[in-house]
Amino acid sequence: MGSDFDRRPSPPGGPAAHAPGETNRWIASLVRPCPTHPRGTDAAPVRDLSLRPVTGSQIPAIAAMWERCTLATRIARFHAPVRHIPASYLKAVLADPAASVVAAQEHTGVVLALASLIHNANGDSAELGVLVEDAWQRRGVGRRLVAHLITAAPARGITALTASVLTDNAKVADLLRQVPGDFSLAIHGPTLNVRICLASSSFRNTAPE
């Protein structure tokens, strides 16, 4: 990210606006229960969801989740109408067990979402990516995954989060604005390039998943 960044203060609700301990309550809010009756699906209620690190054995379940995603959801994640989930992305996901997490149904193992926080080349920042199948979007599943990854970021030596979001992907853009930290933004055509500097002290004593 260069000098064209629009430097902005932390969004309302971020650390700058809170007394000590408020950031921890923000993390707790990310893992609040999802509605127990997902619209238009017979999926299990959120109490039957678990967050799991990604392993090779989960690739078929991830691929099945990908097939259930609409083209619009795939474009929002990878900025292109990709037919198959990129092999290079799966390779990066599997390279570091701490870098990615899935939300899966507890008893069936069906994967509903995948999120990753993969180290960039400079080593102390990482790129965030979130993919939630359509039937579970706007139900808090992605928020839980992001909270999990951010909470673990300091232990992985990650001091900054980056993300590339299409300008019309309002739900992800709104989520990023809620992450505590020094928020900066650059606009390149249809893409928002976001960088958030994270303070390790902001993630102590966080609420359990």
CA distances from 104 to 45, 111, 149, 186 (A): 11, 4, 16, 34
Q: With a cut of 90, say whether residue 9 has pLDDT above it.
A: no
- Residue for token pair 């990709």: 82
pLDDT at 32: 36
Domain boundaries, the chain: 6-203
> Are the C-beta atoms of 73 and 82 separated by less than 8 Å?
no
Over the stretch 47-84, which tens digit does the pLDDT of each residue have? 688 999 999 999 999 999 999 999 999 999 999 999 99
The C-alpha angle 138, 15, 97, rounded to 5 degrees, equals 60
Query: Read out DSSP for the chain?
Result: --TT-EE-PPPTTSGGGS-TTHHHHHHHHHTPPPPSS-TT--PPPGGGEEEEE--GGGHHHHHHHHHHS-HHHHHHHHSS--SS--HHHHHHHHH-TTSEEEEEETTT--EEEEEEEEE-TTSSEEEEEEEE-GGGTTTTHHHHHHHHHHHHTGGGT--EEEEEEETT-HHHHHHHHTSSSEEEEEEETTEEEEEEEPPGGGGTTPPP-
Q: In sequence order, what are the residues at sequence separation of 6 or more whose Cβ sits closer than 8 angstroms to the Cβ of residue 33? A: 46, 47, 140
What does the mean pLDDT of the chain come to?
77
Q: With a cut of 50, say whether residue 22 has pLDDT above it.
A: no
Residue 176: closest CA among 13, 5, 1, 4? 13
pLDDT at 16: 38
Over the stretch 126-180, which tens digit does the pLDDT of each residue have? 999 999 999 998 888 988 999 999 999 989 999 999 999 998 888 888 888 888 8
Bridge-based pairing of strands 49-53 and 100-105 is antiparallel
Q: Kindly report the length of the chain.
A: 209
- Percent of the chain exceeding pLDDT 70 equals 72
Provide CATH code, domain 6-203: 3.40.630.30
Residue 44 CA to residue 107 CA, distance in Å, equals 9
